[in-house]
C-alpha cells in the first residue's frame, strides 16, 4: 500500500558545498519542460499503482522554492489534481531556502494545501553560512519564518548542521539559542558528512578542508540532545526533535520502512516491494519517460531478509525503537532467531535496551548509531 509521495525539484540558485543530492543551477535550465515531464511521470505511475489513503506529500530538492510564482502555481496545481484530489488531513511539506521565499509564493503554497514548511537554516553564524556555500543571512531565517506564520503556515521545521569546518561549540550553542527564539515546532539537526562529488569532498582531497574531529562532533550531538530536551523538544528520531506532537509524518514513512512514491529526476521510491531510482540527468529523465512512461534506471525487488534488516536499522533510528511483537507478526520470527547473538552483544556493550516490547537505542547507542545499525546487515 502506497500512501506517501516524495517529489524532487532539482533546481537551485546556488549549489551548497556539502550537497550531494541531484541538482542543477537554475540558470538556463528547462524548468517548465521538467514540470511537464514530472506530470507525465506522476500520471503514469499512479495509473500503474494507485495511491491508497494518502497521508503525506513532501516536495524536496534541490530547492523547490527556486521556482518562480507561475511555476510554483503549476506544481501545486499538478499535485492537487493528480495526487491529493481533495483529500483532507494530508501532511504536505515544502523545503525552502530562507532567502528564496516571498509572501506571494508562501501564499500560493498555503492556498494549495501546504501545511508544513522546512527551512534550510543550517547555522545562524554569518561566516559559517558563507563557508558552506549558503546565500542567506541569519536575519533572513527569522524573516522567512515570520512570513510563513503570517500566511498561516504554523508547522515549521528548521534544518541545522553541526560539525561544520571550523565550527566551535560556542557557535553551535549560539545557533541553537537563536533557533529557540523563533516560533518553530520541529528541528532536524545533522552532522556534516562529506560526500563524494561535492565541493567539500574535492577540497578535502586537496588538503584544503579538514573535517571536524569525531570527538567534537560527538560533543555537539550530546549537547544538542540535552539542550533541546530542556527546551521542551522531544527527540523521536536520532536527528529529529518536535514539540506539541508535530513529528514529521513523512519522514516516519522512511523509518517505519513503509512504501512511498518517488517522483522526479534522481528521486528514489519503494513501491510493491521494489526499490527504484530515477535517472538524474534531465535529458535521460525526459528520454526514459518518452520511451517507457517512467524514468527508472534501477529496480530491486527487496528480499525478505533485506526487509528484516531494514526494519531493524531504520526502526532503531526512532527513539521508540522496534516492536518485537510487530516484527514477529510480520516476519514469523523473533529478533534473536533472525539475528542470533546480535542483540546480546549490543546489550552487553550498552548500546541497546528493551523497554516493554520495544528494542531501542540507549544514550550511548545514539552516539554510536552507525555501529549499531551495521550489526543488522547480514
Q: Is residue 185 part of a domain?
A: yes
Helix (H) / strand (E) containing 58: strand 56-61
Q: What is the pLDDT of residue 221?
A: 97
Same domain, yes or no: 166 and 70? yes
The C-alpha cell that represents 149 in the structure block: 506564520
Beta strand 91-96 pairing with 116-122: parallel
Give the number of domains in the chain. 2
Domain boundary among 218, 233, 255: 255
Q: What is the pLDDT of residues 130-154, one digit of tens each?
A: 998 888 999 999 999 999 999 999 9
Quick check: 357 and 324 in contact, CB under 8 A? yes
Mean pLDDT of the chain: 95
Same domain, yes or no: 232 and 329? no
Same domain, yes or no: 18 and 112? yes
Same domain, yes or no: 232 and 311? no
Q: What is the pLDDT of residues 282-317, one digit of tens each?
A: 999 999 999 999 999 999 999 999 999 999 999 999
CATH code at 335? Answer: 1.10.10.920
Same domain, yes or no: 65 and 195? yes
Parent domain of 34: 4-255
CATH code at 115? Answer: 3.20.20.70
The C-alpha cell that represents 147 in the structure block: 512570513
Same domain, yes or no: 202 and 328? no
The C-alpha cell that represents 59 in the structure block: 516536495
Q: Is the pLDDT of residue 99 over 80?
A: yes
Q: Is residue 276 part of a domain?
A: no
Among 61-65, 193-197, 292-296, name the one with the lowest average pLDDT: 193-197
Q: What is the pLDDT of residue 17?
A: 73
| Cα→Cα distances 270→6, 116, 267, 360, Å | 11, 23, 11, 25
Same domain, yes or no: 334 and 231? no
Mean pLDDT along residues 33-53: 97
Q: What is the pLDDT of residues 75-98, one digit of tens each?
A: 999 999 999 999 999 999 999 999
Q: How does DSSP assign 97-127, residue by residue?
A: -TTS--HHHHHHHHHTT--EEEEEEE-S-HH
Q: What is the pLDDT of residues 211-226, one digit of tens each?
A: 889 999 999 999 999 9
Q: Is residue 293 part of a domain?
A: no
Mean pLDDT along residues 246-265: 97
Q: Is residue 26 part of a domain?
A: yes
Mean pLDDT along residues 39-53: 96
d(Cα 262, Cα 41) in Å, to the nearest integer? 10
Domain boundary among 191, 220, 255: 255
Same domain, yes or no: 189 and 338? no
d(Cα 359, Cα 322) in Å, to the nearest integer? 5
Same domain, yes or no: 214 and 311? no
Q: Is residue 42 part of a domain?
A: yes
Domain boundary among 220, 255, 290: 255
Same domain, yes or no: 356 and 240? no
Q: Find where cell 534531465 sits.
A: 282
Q: What is the pLDDT of residue 68?
A: 96
Q: Is residue 140 part of a domain?
A: yes
User: How big is the CA angle at 133 (ends 158 and 19), to the nearest 5 degrees?
Assistant: 70
Same domain, yes or no: 232 and 366? no
Q: What is the C-alpha radius of gyration for the chain, rounded to an integer number of angstroms?
A: 21
Q: Is residue 260 part of a domain?
A: no
Q: What is the pLDDT of residue 19?
A: 73
Q: Is residue 141 part of a domain?
A: yes
d(Cα 300, Cα 42) in Å, to the nearest integer? 20
Same domain, yes or no: 214 and 333? no
Query: Residue 197: pLDDT band by 50, 70, 90 thresholds?
Result: confident
SS3 label, residue 192: coil
Amino acid at each position: 500500500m502506497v500512501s506517501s509521495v516524495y517529489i524532487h525539484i532539482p533546481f537551485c540558485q546556488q549549489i551548497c558545498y556539502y550537497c550531494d543530492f541531484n541538482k542543477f543551477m537554475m540558470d538556463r535550465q528547462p524548468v517548465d519542460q521538467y514540470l511537464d515531464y514530472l506530470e507525465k511521470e506522476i500520471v503514469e505511475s499512479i495509473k500503474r499503482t494507485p495511491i491508497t489513503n494518502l497521508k503525506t506529500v513532501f516536495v524536496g530538492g534541490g530547492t523547490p522554492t527556486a521556482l518562480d510564482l507561475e511555476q510554483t502555481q503549476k506544481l501545486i496545481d499538478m499535485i492537487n489534481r493528480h495526487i491529493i484530489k481533495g483529500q483532507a488531513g494530508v501532511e504536505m511539506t515544502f523545503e525552502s531556502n530562507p532567502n528564496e521565499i516571498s509572501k506571494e509564493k508562501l501564499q500560493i503554497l498555503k492556498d494549495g494545501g501546504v501545511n508544513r514548511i522546512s527551512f534550510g537554516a543550517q547555522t545562524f553564524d554569518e561566516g559559517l553560512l558563507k563557508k558552506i556555500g549558503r546565500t542567506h543571512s541569519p536575519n533572513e531565517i527569522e524573516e522567512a519564518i515570520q512570513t510563513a506564520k503570517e500566511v498561516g503556515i504554523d508547522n515549521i521545521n528548521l534544518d541545522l548542521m553541526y560539525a561544520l569546518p571550523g565550527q566551535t561549540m560556542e557557535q553551535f550553542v549560539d545557533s541553537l539559542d537563536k533557533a529557540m527564539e523563533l516560533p518553530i515546532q520541529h528541528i532536524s539537526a545533522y552532522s556534516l558528512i562529506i560526500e563524494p562529488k561535492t565541493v567539500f569532498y574535492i577540497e578535502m582531497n586537496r588538503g584544503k578542508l579538514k573535517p571536524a574531529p569525531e570527538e567534537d562532533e560527538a560533543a555537539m550531538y550530546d549537547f544538542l540532545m540535552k539542550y533541546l530536551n530542556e527546551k521542551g523538544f522531544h527527540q523521536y528520531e536520532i536527528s529529529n526533535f518536535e514539540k506539541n506532537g508535530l513529528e514529521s509524518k513523512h519522514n516516519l514513512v522512511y523509518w517505519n520502512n513503509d512504501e512511498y512514491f518517488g517522483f522526479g529526476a534522481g528521486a528514489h521510491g519503494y513501491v510493491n516491494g521494489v526499490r527504484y531510482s530515477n535517472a538524474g540527468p534531465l535529458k535521460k529523465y525526459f528520454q526514459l519517460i518518452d520511451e517507457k512512461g517512467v524514468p527508472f534506471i534501477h529496480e530491486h525487488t527487496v528480499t525478505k531478509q533485506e526487509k528484516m534488516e531494514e526494519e531493524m536499522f531504520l526502526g532503531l533510528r526512532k527513539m521508540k525503537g522496534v516492536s518485537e511483537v510487530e516484527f514477529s507478526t510480520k516476519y514469523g520470527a523473533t529478533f534473536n532467531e533472525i539475528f542470533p547473538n546480535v542483540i546480546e552483544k549490543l546489550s552487553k556493550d550498552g548500546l541497546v535496551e528493551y523497554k516493554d516490547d520495544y528494542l531501542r537505542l540507549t544514550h550511548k547507542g545514539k552516539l554510536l548509531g552507525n555501529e549499531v545499525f551495521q550489526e543488522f546487515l547480514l
